[in-house]
């Protein structure tokens, strides 16, 4: 079970075998496999086939599989289900799941139960949440304390909202954010979170569509040693959201003192803005913690697409799909449960925050971290900050981005030389492709006895298509396995399954799965839903990732996005967000623009490149470039800022006026591109080829 063992046995399977679990029979997945084998008289045998035969059963027998996951993981429901799903109904329109059941999402997180335990899976005096900051501050919250804080918040909130209302958070990753989400979903409200690094424009593009009734916000945030006040932006946001009836502000220590009256827009209710302490006192102090039982596909979260072709799309996820998928992934795939300490570095906007907090439903202690991953400055440049936290808190499962791990690799730091991290069992890497060299680096820098699991999924499914498995080795450059119950294949452009040949193709899912969005928010939601996933291959989920399935290892290799979404450092960014900033702030300087990601074979990460066509008489001066970058950083985020801004004589467009982003992206990334006849000014692509050759 070490980095060096079995090197000679790999042969030509793909990447090098880097790790193999020494005691797979002690894991939850092995126990689940044995349970299913006995109940259904199915034999799942073979050393290398322990997982693959189980996966095949899970996607062949969808109803039986998901029914067993419901019971095995301990879904808490006030009324059981009558049927799992109609497997003959197709994937779109989305079929209903677990019809007849009644449950509450928040109750499952606050009162987790396991299969063999009808009561609590946790001691109420055990720690449920550890909140940490880059200033080395720590907050330990027991299950009993967390439940009480949610009770108080829900008691005040229930006087102001009703089931189905949207409650938004403009908050950092701390316990109060978690409390607000749990209070909201306990009442049947829909939660959406946006981190304070988003500018006013980016926030309003999202929240105007949702018309939230209540908004929780921080007064200020601390990141990378700098204090960023939020109050000014909050005032602008509050003024623009006319349906807001309640705004609750958490007065963080590094934020300015809250002046409630100065925040209240002219003509709005005197009771619009509240300090959290005052808000909490308005509820019935004797009101018990209650959970509204609701149908399984009731919306609980709205997450946002990257805004590629306009405003970000509002993707709505349901209670049972989110819950059962996360419990399956945590408990069965990742072996997370009571006694685990689960830390995923994330903001509240990213789907990984939702994945993290669902760790409560498996009885784990979760770690909420607010700040830069390179603070405090432990080791050169803070490179050891996260390792220090893992070691101090006894983290068992640590999730981060591939970009973070590659930055450590480039700095040639070895955390295990300073911190033992004896409790660490697994590292999860996501958000972008984990390079083979980084796989090798992690085992040398963090230790040989780890499951380094590169995982993939997305906002669209709030979970994973490619996951970890203790029954499968880790091969360099590969995701260990496909998720149980997820019938994922690789298709070429003609709709042919090419997975067995090892050819590259688009990631598709050909059978229904419970964490499909319940809807897209808005009047044209169903049409947008269909266009987003079911038009490329009618009736089949097309995810937009370019992949290869290794026919020998069955590992999944991610080759990038098959659409035009930007992904610097693994963060999904829509080009339309950048175009909107240019149009609003520089209407006389730029006639047109195209923004793409560039990642050549020699590049460790994707970089954002912005090409602009100047208006007549305008010049692209260094001062203008700096101003554009500053404005994008201010209104969107630092991650949106292009690495390169350059002039182009023409911007390629289709005959109906759409920018030809994919062709430009491929050309400047060094690919040989066959240009579609739909490009109206195809000759201008030659300029981009010359640019790529020179740059």
Q: Report the range of poorest mean pLDDT among 2-6, 47-51, 290-294, 593-597.
A: 2-6
φ, ψ dihedrals at 35, nearest 5°:
-60, -45
Express each pLDDT in 547-598 by its tens digit.
889 999 999 988 766 766 777 877 657 677 788 788 778 878 998 899 999 9
Report the pLDDT averaged over residues 644-658: 82
Does the pTM surpass 0.85? The reply is no
Report the pLDDT averaged over residues 122-146: 97
Q: Report the range of poorest mean pLDDT among 34-43, 167-176, 559-568.
A: 559-568
- The rounded mean pLDDT for the chain is 90
Express each pLDDT in 180-219 by its tens digit.
999 999 999 999 999 998 889 889 989 999 999 999 999 9
- C-alpha span between 115 and 26 (Å, rounded): 17
Express each pLDDT in 432-468 by its tens digit.
778 778 899 999 999 999 999 999 999 999 999 999 9
**Alpha helices (H) in 77-142, listed in sequence order:** 105-110
The residue among 396, 392, 347, 389 whose CA lies nearest residue 370 is: 347
pLDDT score of 306: 62
Express each pLDDT in 620-649 by its tens digit.
999 999 999 999 998 888 888 999 999 999
φ, ψ dihedrals at 19, nearest 5°:
-160, 150
Name the helix (H) or strand (E) containing 299: strand 299-304
pLDDT above 60 for 277: yes
pLDDT > 90: percent of the chain: 69
pLDDT score of 6: 39
Whether residue 455 has a cis bond before it, omega within 30° of 0: no
pLDDT score of 560: 65
- C-alpha span between 509 and 487 (Å, rounded): 5
Task: Kindly state the DSSP code that residue 458 receives in the 8-state scheme.
Answer: E
Express each pLDDT in 395-419 by its tens digit.
999 999 888 998 898 788 999 999 9
pLDDT score of 28: 95
Residue 504 makes CB contacts below 8 A (sequence gap 6+) with: 490, 498, 546, 547, 548, 559
- C-alpha span between 538 and 529 (Å, rounded): 13
- C-alpha span between 106 and 183 (Å, rounded): 8
pLDDT score of 515: 98
pLDDT score of 597: 92
Name the band, by pLDDT with cuts 50, 70 and 90, for residue 255.
Answer: low
pLDDT above 90 for 13: no
Strand partners for 179 = none
| HEC secondary structure over 20-44 | CCCCHHHCHHHHHHHHHHHHHCCCC
pLDDT score of 1: 42
- C-alpha span between 59 and 499 (Å, rounded): 16
Report the pLDDT averaged over residues 269-287: 92
Strand partners for 229 = 220
Residue count of the chain, please give it: 695
Name the band, by pLDDT with cuts 50, 70 and 90, for residue 8.
Answer: very low
pLDDT > 70: percent of the chain: 93
Q: Report the range of poorest mean pLDDT among 121-130, 279-288, 383-392, 670-679.
A: 670-679
pLDDT score of 204: 93
Express each pLDDT in 69-117 by its tens digit.
999 999 999 999 999 999 898 999 999 999 999 999 999 999 999 875 5
Name the band, by pLDDT with cuts 50, 70 and 90, for residue 4.
Answer: very low
Q: Identify whether the C-beta of residue 215 lies closer than 8 Å to the C-beta of residue 168.
A: yes
Task: Give the domains, in start order, of the chain with CATH numbers.
Answer: 568-694 (3.30.300.30)
Structure tokens at 456: 């993939």
**Which residue is listed with tokens 């070490």?**
2
Structure tokens at 489: 């294949």
Report the pLDDT averaged over residues 246-258: 82
- C-alpha span between 104 and 188 (Å, rounded): 8
- C-alpha span between 521 and 191 (Å, rounded): 13
Report the pLDDT averaged over residues 459-484: 96
């Amino acid at each position: 079970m070490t980095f060096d063992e079995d090197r000679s046995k790999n042969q030509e399977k793909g990447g090098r075998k880097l790790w193999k679990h020494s005691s797979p029979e002690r894991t939850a997945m092995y126990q689940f496999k044995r349970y299913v084998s006995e109940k259904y008289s199915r034999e799942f045998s073979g050393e290398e086939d322990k997982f693959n035969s189980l996966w095949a059963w899970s996607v062949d027998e969808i109803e039986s599989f998901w029914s067993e996951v419901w019971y095995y993981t301990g879904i808490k429901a006030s009324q059981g289900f009558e049927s799992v799903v109609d497997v003959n109904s197709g994937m779109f329109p989305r079929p209903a799941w677990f019809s007849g059941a009644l449950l509450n999402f928040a109750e499952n997180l606050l009162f987790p139960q396991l299969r063999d335990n009808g009561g609590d899976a946790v001691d109420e005096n055990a720690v449920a949440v550890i909140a940490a900051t880059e200033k080395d501050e720590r907050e330990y919250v027991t299950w009993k304390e967390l439940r009480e804080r949610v009770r108080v918040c829900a008691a005040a909130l229930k006087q102001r909202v009703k089931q189905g209302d949207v409650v938004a958070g403009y908050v950092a990753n701390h316990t109060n954010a978690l409390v607000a989400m749990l209070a909201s979903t306990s009442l049947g409200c829909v939660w959406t979170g946006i981190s304070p690094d988003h500018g006013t424009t980016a926030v309003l593009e999202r929240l105007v569509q949702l018309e939230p009734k209540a908004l929780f916000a921080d007064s200020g945030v601390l990141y990378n040693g700098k204090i960023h006040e939020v109050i000014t932006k909050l005032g602008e946001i509050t003024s623009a959201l006319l349906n807001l009836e309640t705004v609750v502000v958490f007065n963080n220590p590094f934020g300015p003192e809250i002046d409630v009256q100065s925040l209240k827009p002219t003509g709005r209710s005197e009771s619009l803005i509240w300090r959290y302490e005052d808000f909490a006192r308005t509820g019935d102090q004797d009101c018990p913690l209650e959970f509204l039982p609701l149908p399984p596909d009731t919306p609980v979260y709205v997450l946002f697409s990257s805004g590629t072709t306009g405003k970000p799309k509002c993707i709505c996820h349901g209670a049972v799909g989110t819950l059962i998928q996360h419990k399956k992934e945590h408990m069965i795939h990742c072996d997370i449960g009571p006694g685990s300490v689960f830390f995923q570095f994330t903001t509240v906007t990213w789907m990984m925050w939702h994945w993290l907090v669902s760790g409560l439903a498996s009885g784990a202690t979760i770690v909420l971290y607010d700040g830069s991953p390179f603070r405090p400055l432990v080791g050169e440049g803070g490179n050891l900050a996260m390792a220090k936290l893992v070691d101090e808190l006894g983290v068992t499962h640590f999730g981060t981005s591939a970009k973070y791990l590659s930055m450590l690799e480039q700095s040639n730091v070895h955390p295990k030389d300073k911190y033992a991290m004896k409790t660490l069992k697994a590292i999860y890497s996501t958000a972008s492709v984990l390079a083979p060299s980084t796989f090798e680096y992690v085992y040398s820098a963090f230790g040989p006895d780890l499951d380094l699991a590169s995982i993939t999924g997305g906002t669209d499914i709030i979970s994973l298509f490619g996951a970890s498995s203790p029954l499968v080795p880790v091969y360099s450059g590969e995701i260990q396995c496909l998720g149980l119950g997820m019938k994922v294949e690789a298709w070429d452009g003609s709709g042919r399954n090419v997975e067995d040949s090892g050819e590259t193709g688009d990631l598709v899912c050909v059978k229904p799965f419970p964490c499909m969005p319940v809807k897209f928010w808005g009047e044209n939601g169903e049409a947008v839903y269909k266009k987003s996933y079911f038009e490329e291959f009618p009736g089949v989920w097309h995810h937009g990732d370019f992949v290869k399935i290794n026919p020998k290892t069955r590992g999944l290799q991610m080759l990038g996005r098959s659409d035009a979404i930007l992904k610097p450092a693994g963060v999904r960014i829509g080009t339309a967000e950048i175009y909107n900033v240019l149009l609003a702030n520089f209407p006389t300087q730029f006639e047109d623009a195209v923004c793409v990601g560039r990642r050549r074979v020699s590049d460790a990460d994707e970089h954002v490149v912005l090409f602009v066509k100047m208006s007549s008489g305008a010049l692209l001066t260094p001062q203008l470039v700096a101003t554009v970058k500053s404005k994008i950083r201010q209104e969107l985020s630092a991650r949106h800022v292009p690495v390169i801004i350059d002039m182009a004589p023409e911007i390629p467009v289709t005959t109906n006026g759409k920018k030809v982003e994919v062709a430009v992206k491929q050309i400047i990334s060094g690919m040989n591109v066959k240009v579609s006849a739909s490009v109206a000014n195809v000759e201008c692509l030659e300029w981009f080829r010359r640019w790529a050759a020179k740059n």
